[in-house]
A and B are shown apart, each in its own frame.
Chain A
Amino acid sequence: MQLRFDEIGEVLRVSLQGRLDSAGVDVIETQFQAGVVAKGKNTVVDLTEVTFLASLGIRMIIAATRSLSFKGAKIALFGAIPAVMDIIDAVALDDIVPIAATQADAIALVTG
Protein backbone atom coordinates (compact mmCIF):
# COMPACT_ATOMS: atom_id res chain seq x y z
CA MET A 1 0.00 0.00 0.00
CA GLN A 2 1.36 3.39 -0.99
CA LEU A 3 0.16 6.97 -0.75
CA ARG A 4 1.19 10.28 -2.25
CA PHE A 5 0.29 13.85 -1.31
CA ASP A 6 0.13 16.81 -3.62
CA GLU A 7 -1.84 20.02 -3.86
CA ILE A 8 -4.26 21.22 -6.49
CA GLY A 9 -4.61 24.91 -5.76
CA GLU A 10 -5.83 25.11 -2.17
CA VAL A 11 -6.98 21.49 -2.08
CA LEU A 12 -4.87 18.62 -0.77
CA ARG A 13 -4.97 15.47 -2.91
CA VAL A 14 -4.09 12.12 -1.41
CA SER A 15 -3.57 9.36 -3.95
CA LEU A 16 -3.79 5.84 -2.56
CA GLN A 17 -2.50 2.77 -4.35
CA GLY A 18 -3.00 -0.87 -3.39
CA ARG A 19 -5.21 -2.81 -1.01
CA LEU A 20 -6.84 -0.98 1.89
CA ASP A 21 -7.04 -4.16 3.94
CA SER A 22 -5.72 -4.78 7.46
CA ALA A 23 -2.12 -5.05 6.27
CA GLY A 24 -2.36 -2.04 3.97
CA VAL A 25 -3.90 0.20 6.61
CA ASP A 26 -1.16 -0.83 9.05
CA VAL A 27 1.39 0.43 6.53
CA ILE A 28 -0.09 3.84 5.72
CA GLU A 29 -2.48 4.90 8.48
CA THR A 30 -0.06 6.99 10.52
CA GLN A 31 1.27 8.76 7.43
CA PHE A 32 -2.24 9.25 6.05
CA GLN A 33 -3.66 10.76 9.23
CA ALA A 34 -0.59 12.91 9.84
CA GLY A 35 -0.52 14.20 6.27
CA VAL A 36 -4.22 14.95 6.07
CA VAL A 37 -5.01 16.22 9.53
CA ALA A 38 -1.84 18.24 10.12
CA LYS A 39 -2.49 20.32 7.01
CA GLY A 40 -6.15 20.81 7.90
CA LYS A 41 -7.03 21.61 4.29
CA ASN A 42 -9.97 20.63 2.17
CA THR A 43 -8.93 17.20 0.89
CA VAL A 44 -9.78 14.86 -1.95
CA VAL A 45 -8.78 11.22 -1.83
CA ASP A 46 -8.03 9.51 -5.14
CA LEU A 47 -9.19 5.89 -4.96
CA THR A 48 -8.56 5.12 -8.62
CA GLU A 49 -5.75 2.70 -7.80
CA VAL A 50 -7.29 1.20 -4.67
CA THR A 51 -8.13 -2.39 -5.55
CA PHE A 52 -9.70 -3.53 -2.26
CA LEU A 53 -11.45 -1.89 0.69
CA ALA A 54 -12.33 -3.48 4.03
CA SER A 55 -13.51 -2.16 7.38
CA LEU A 56 -10.18 -0.84 8.64
CA GLY A 57 -9.76 1.22 5.48
CA ILE A 58 -13.23 2.67 5.95
CA ARG A 59 -12.38 3.42 9.57
CA MET A 60 -9.24 5.28 8.49
CA ILE A 61 -11.21 7.46 6.10
CA ILE A 62 -13.91 8.22 8.67
CA ALA A 63 -11.26 9.13 11.27
CA ALA A 64 -9.77 11.66 8.84
CA THR A 65 -13.22 13.03 8.07
CA ARG A 66 -13.89 13.56 11.76
CA SER A 67 -10.53 15.18 12.44
CA LEU A 68 -10.84 17.52 9.46
CA SER A 69 -14.35 18.53 10.48
CA PHE A 70 -12.99 19.82 13.79
CA LYS A 71 -10.67 22.04 11.74
CA GLY A 72 -13.48 23.30 9.52
CA ALA A 73 -12.25 21.38 6.48
CA LYS A 74 -13.98 18.88 4.21
CA ILE A 75 -12.97 15.62 2.55
CA ALA A 76 -14.34 13.79 -0.49
CA LEU A 77 -13.45 10.56 -2.25
CA PHE A 78 -13.33 9.95 -5.98
CA GLY A 79 -12.48 7.34 -8.58
CA ALA A 80 -13.58 4.18 -6.75
CA ILE A 81 -13.61 1.08 -8.95
CA PRO A 82 -16.84 -1.02 -8.89
CA ALA A 83 -15.51 -3.52 -6.33
CA VAL A 84 -14.59 -0.73 -3.92
CA MET A 85 -17.85 1.09 -4.62
CA ASP A 86 -19.74 -2.09 -3.69
CA ILE A 87 -18.22 -1.93 -0.22
CA ILE A 88 -18.78 1.83 0.09
CA ASP A 89 -22.45 1.22 -0.74
CA ALA A 90 -22.69 -1.71 1.70
CA VAL A 91 -21.88 0.54 4.67
CA ALA A 92 -23.52 3.67 3.23
CA LEU A 93 -20.23 5.52 3.61
CA ASP A 94 -21.59 8.35 1.48
CA ASP A 95 -23.88 9.25 4.39
CA ILE A 96 -20.83 10.85 6.01
CA VAL A 97 -18.14 11.16 3.32
CA PRO A 98 -19.08 12.64 -0.07
CA ILE A 99 -18.26 10.33 -2.98
CA ALA A 100 -17.62 11.66 -6.48
CA ALA A 101 -16.91 10.00 -9.79
CA THR A 102 -14.20 12.41 -10.87
CA GLN A 103 -11.51 14.55 -9.30
CA ALA A 104 -13.20 17.73 -10.57
CA ASP A 105 -16.47 16.71 -8.92
CA ALA A 106 -14.67 15.88 -5.66
CA ILE A 107 -12.93 19.26 -5.62
CA ALA A 108 -16.27 20.97 -6.23
CA LEU A 109 -17.74 19.07 -3.26
CA VAL A 110 -15.06 20.21 -0.81
CA THR A 111 -14.77 23.79 -2.04
CA GLY A 112 -18.44 24.48 -2.70
Chain B
Amino acid sequence: MAPAGHGSVGTGVRSADVVDGVLRLTLNNTLDAIDDGRLEILAFLTPADLTDRIINRLEVVFEELVANAVRHSFGRGAPHTLTVAVSLAPDRIAMVFEDDGAPFDPLAVAEPEPFGSPETVRLGGLGLPLIRRLSSEVRYERLRGVGGDKRFEPRNRVSVAIALEAPPQARPGLTV
Protein backbone atom coordinates (compact mmCIF):
# COMPACT_ATOMS: atom_id res chain seq x y z
CA MET B 1 0.00 0.00 0.00
CA ALA B 2 1.34 3.43 -0.88
CA PRO B 3 0.11 6.84 0.13
CA ALA B 4 -1.57 8.79 -2.64
CA GLY B 5 0.53 11.31 -4.48
CA HIS B 6 -1.06 14.55 -3.31
CA GLY B 7 1.08 14.64 -0.20
CA SER B 8 -0.85 16.32 2.59
CA VAL B 9 -4.36 14.96 2.98
CA GLY B 10 -6.95 17.76 3.29
CA THR B 11 -9.59 18.00 5.99
CA GLY B 12 -12.25 16.48 3.75
CA VAL B 13 -10.20 13.32 3.19
CA ARG B 14 -9.79 10.86 6.05
CA SER B 15 -7.40 8.62 4.14
CA ALA B 16 -5.99 8.22 0.65
CA ASP B 17 -4.04 5.16 -0.39
CA VAL B 18 -3.11 3.42 -3.60
CA VAL B 19 -3.64 -0.35 -3.39
CA ASP B 20 -2.95 -2.53 -6.44
CA GLY B 21 -3.19 0.45 -8.76
CA VAL B 22 -6.50 1.64 -7.29
CA LEU B 23 -6.79 4.94 -5.43
CA ARG B 24 -8.92 4.38 -2.34
CA LEU B 25 -10.28 7.51 -0.67
CA THR B 26 -12.20 7.67 2.57
CA LEU B 27 -14.01 10.99 2.74
CA ASN B 28 -15.55 12.87 5.61
CA ASN B 29 -19.22 13.82 5.56
CA THR B 30 -18.46 17.43 4.66
CA LEU B 31 -18.41 19.52 1.50
CA ASP B 32 -14.62 19.90 1.98
CA ALA B 33 -14.50 16.32 0.78
CA ILE B 34 -15.26 17.49 -2.76
CA ASP B 35 -12.21 19.68 -3.27
CA ASP B 36 -9.81 17.66 -1.15
CA GLY B 37 -10.89 14.41 -2.81
CA ARG B 38 -10.64 16.01 -6.24
CA LEU B 39 -7.02 16.99 -5.63
CA GLU B 40 -6.15 13.45 -4.57
CA ILE B 41 -7.69 12.06 -7.76
CA LEU B 42 -5.89 14.57 -9.96
CA ALA B 43 -2.57 13.70 -8.33
CA PHE B 44 -3.27 9.99 -8.85
CA LEU B 45 -4.16 10.47 -12.53
CA THR B 46 -1.44 12.98 -13.43
CA PRO B 47 0.91 10.34 -14.90
CA ALA B 48 -1.81 9.27 -17.34
CA ASP B 49 -1.77 12.66 -19.08
CA LEU B 50 -5.51 12.63 -19.73
CA THR B 51 -7.17 15.28 -21.86
CA ASP B 52 -8.67 18.39 -20.27
CA ARG B 53 -12.11 17.26 -21.43
CA ILE B 54 -11.88 13.90 -19.66
CA ILE B 55 -10.45 15.44 -16.49
CA ASN B 56 -13.25 18.00 -16.47
CA ARG B 57 -15.93 15.34 -16.89
CA LEU B 58 -14.38 13.27 -14.12
CA GLU B 59 -14.32 16.29 -11.80
CA VAL B 60 -17.95 17.16 -12.50
CA VAL B 61 -19.15 13.58 -11.92
CA PHE B 62 -17.08 13.34 -8.72
CA GLU B 63 -18.40 16.66 -7.45
CA GLU B 64 -22.02 15.80 -8.15
CA LEU B 65 -21.87 12.35 -6.54
CA VAL B 66 -20.05 13.49 -3.41
CA ALA B 67 -22.26 16.57 -3.01
CA ASN B 68 -25.32 14.40 -3.48
CA ALA B 69 -24.20 11.96 -0.79
CA VAL B 70 -23.29 14.70 1.68
CA ARG B 71 -26.47 16.67 1.13
CA HIS B 72 -29.04 13.92 0.68
CA SER B 73 -27.90 10.50 1.90
CA PHE B 74 -26.49 11.68 5.20
CA GLY B 75 -28.08 13.51 8.06
CA ARG B 76 -26.44 16.87 8.69
CA GLY B 77 -23.27 16.38 10.67
CA ALA B 78 -23.87 12.67 11.15
CA PRO B 79 -20.66 10.61 11.29
CA HIS B 80 -21.14 8.79 8.02
CA THR B 81 -18.42 7.58 5.71
CA LEU B 82 -18.08 7.87 1.96
CA THR B 83 -15.46 5.84 0.15
CA VAL B 84 -14.37 6.24 -3.45
CA ALA B 85 -12.20 3.85 -5.46
CA VAL B 86 -10.67 5.25 -8.64
CA SER B 87 -9.00 3.11 -11.28
CA LEU B 88 -7.80 3.56 -14.81
CA ALA B 89 -8.26 1.10 -17.67
CA PRO B 90 -7.17 1.48 -21.29
CA ASP B 91 -10.63 2.63 -22.34
CA ARG B 92 -12.09 4.30 -19.24
CA ILE B 93 -11.79 5.72 -15.76
CA ALA B 94 -13.88 3.89 -13.20
CA MET B 95 -15.07 5.36 -9.90
CA VAL B 96 -16.96 3.36 -7.29
CA PHE B 97 -18.70 5.35 -4.56
CA GLU B 98 -19.97 3.67 -1.40
CA ASP B 99 -21.76 5.35 1.47
CA ASP B 100 -23.65 4.15 4.54
CA GLY B 101 -26.36 6.77 4.25
CA ALA B 102 -30.05 6.42 3.48
CA PRO B 103 -30.91 4.37 0.37
CA PHE B 104 -30.71 6.53 -2.72
CA ASP B 105 -30.73 5.27 -6.29
CA PRO B 106 -29.65 8.07 -8.64
CA LEU B 107 -30.87 6.06 -11.61
CA ALA B 108 -34.41 6.00 -10.23
CA VAL B 109 -34.73 9.77 -10.48
CA ALA B 110 -36.61 10.78 -13.61
CA GLU B 111 -34.97 12.97 -16.21
CA PRO B 112 -35.99 16.59 -15.66
CA GLU B 113 -38.54 18.24 -17.90
CA PRO B 114 -37.21 20.55 -20.62
CA PHE B 115 -36.42 24.02 -19.28
CA GLY B 116 -39.45 25.69 -20.87
CA SER B 117 -39.70 29.45 -20.47
CA PRO B 118 -37.55 31.61 -18.14
CA GLU B 119 -40.65 32.44 -16.08
CA THR B 120 -41.61 28.82 -15.43
CA VAL B 121 -38.23 27.09 -15.35
CA ARG B 122 -37.66 24.77 -12.41
CA LEU B 123 -34.49 25.33 -10.42
CA GLY B 124 -32.15 22.53 -9.45
CA GLY B 125 -32.23 18.84 -10.26
CA LEU B 126 -29.37 19.03 -12.77
CA GLY B 127 -26.73 17.11 -10.85
CA LEU B 128 -28.02 13.63 -11.57
CA PRO B 129 -28.65 14.31 -15.28
CA LEU B 130 -25.07 15.59 -15.52
CA ILE B 131 -23.76 12.37 -13.97
CA ARG B 132 -25.74 10.28 -16.44
CA ARG B 133 -24.84 12.35 -19.51
CA LEU B 134 -21.12 12.66 -18.79
CA SER B 135 -20.62 9.01 -17.86
CA SER B 136 -20.47 6.10 -20.26
CA GLU B 137 -21.88 3.79 -17.59
CA VAL B 138 -23.70 4.29 -14.27
CA ARG B 139 -24.82 1.45 -12.00
CA TYR B 140 -26.45 1.43 -8.58
CA GLU B 141 -26.59 -1.33 -5.97
CA ARG B 142 -27.88 -1.43 -2.40
CA LEU B 143 -25.46 -3.64 -0.51
CA ARG B 144 -26.69 -5.65 2.45
CA GLY B 145 -25.02 -8.03 4.84
CA VAL B 146 -25.40 -11.71 4.08
CA GLY B 147 -27.69 -13.59 6.48
CA GLY B 148 -28.51 -10.50 8.51
CA ASP B 149 -24.87 -9.87 9.46
CA LYS B 150 -25.19 -6.95 11.89
CA ARG B 151 -21.54 -6.01 11.43
CA PHE B 152 -22.22 -4.96 7.85
CA GLU B 153 -24.00 -1.65 7.54
CA PRO B 154 -26.21 -1.46 4.44
CA ARG B 155 -24.59 0.75 1.85
CA ASN B 156 -25.26 2.54 -1.41
CA ARG B 157 -22.81 1.71 -4.19
CA VAL B 158 -22.73 3.83 -7.33
CA SER B 159 -20.31 2.74 -10.04
CA VAL B 160 -19.54 5.13 -12.87
CA ALA B 161 -17.25 4.90 -15.86
CA ILE B 162 -16.03 7.71 -18.05
CA ALA B 163 -14.94 6.64 -21.50
CA LEU B 164 -11.53 7.80 -22.67
CA GLU B 165 -11.12 9.28 -26.13
CA ALA B 166 -7.75 7.56 -26.52
CA PRO B 167 -5.80 5.12 -24.36
CA PRO B 168 -4.01 6.93 -21.54
CA GLN B 169 -0.27 7.26 -21.59
CA ALA B 170 1.33 4.52 -19.51
CA ARG B 171 3.97 6.17 -17.41
CA PRO B 172 5.89 5.09 -14.35
CA GLY B 173 3.83 5.40 -11.22
CA LEU B 174 0.46 4.50 -12.66
CA THR B 175 -0.76 1.04 -13.58
CA VAL B 176 -2.99 1.02 -16.64
Contacts and interface: CB of A to CB of B under 8 A. Distances in A.
B133 interface: yes
Interface stretch (A3-11, A41-49, A80-88): A80-88
Interface string A65-108: 11011100000000000110011001110011000000000000
B7 interface: no
B31 A22 contact: yes
B45 to A, nearest CB: 15
Contact of B64 (A54, A62, A66, A68): A54
Interface string B117-158: 111010110110110011000000000000000000000000
A65 B119 CA distance: 8
Given A90-B130, A95-B115, A83 B56 contact: yes
A96 B112 CA distance: 14
A21 B118 CA distance: 23
Contact of B63 (A54, A69, A86): A54
B60 interface: yes
B52 interface: yes
A95 B114 contact: yes
A53 B64 CA distance: 11
Contact of A87 (B118, B124, B130): B130
A59 interface: yes
A23 B64 contact: no
B133 A90 contact: yes
A91 B63 contact: no
Contacts of A82: 52-53
B86 interface: no
Contacts of B64: 54-55
A91 B130 contact: yes
Contacts of B118: 65-66, 68-69, 96
Interface of B: 31, 34-35, 52-53, 56-57, 59-60, 63-64, 67, 114-119, 121, 123-124, 126-127, 129-130, 133-134
Interface of A: 21-23, 52-56, 58-59, 62-63, 65-66, 68-70, 82-83, 86-87, 90-92, 95-96
For the complex of A and B, the 4 pairs showing the least CB-CB separation, nearest first, are A69-B118, A83-B56, A96-B115, A55-B127
Given A21-B63, A59-B124, A92-B115, 10 more contacts: A23-B35, A55-B130, A62-B123, A66-B119, A66-B121, A82-B53, A83-B52, A90-B133, A91-B133, A96-B118
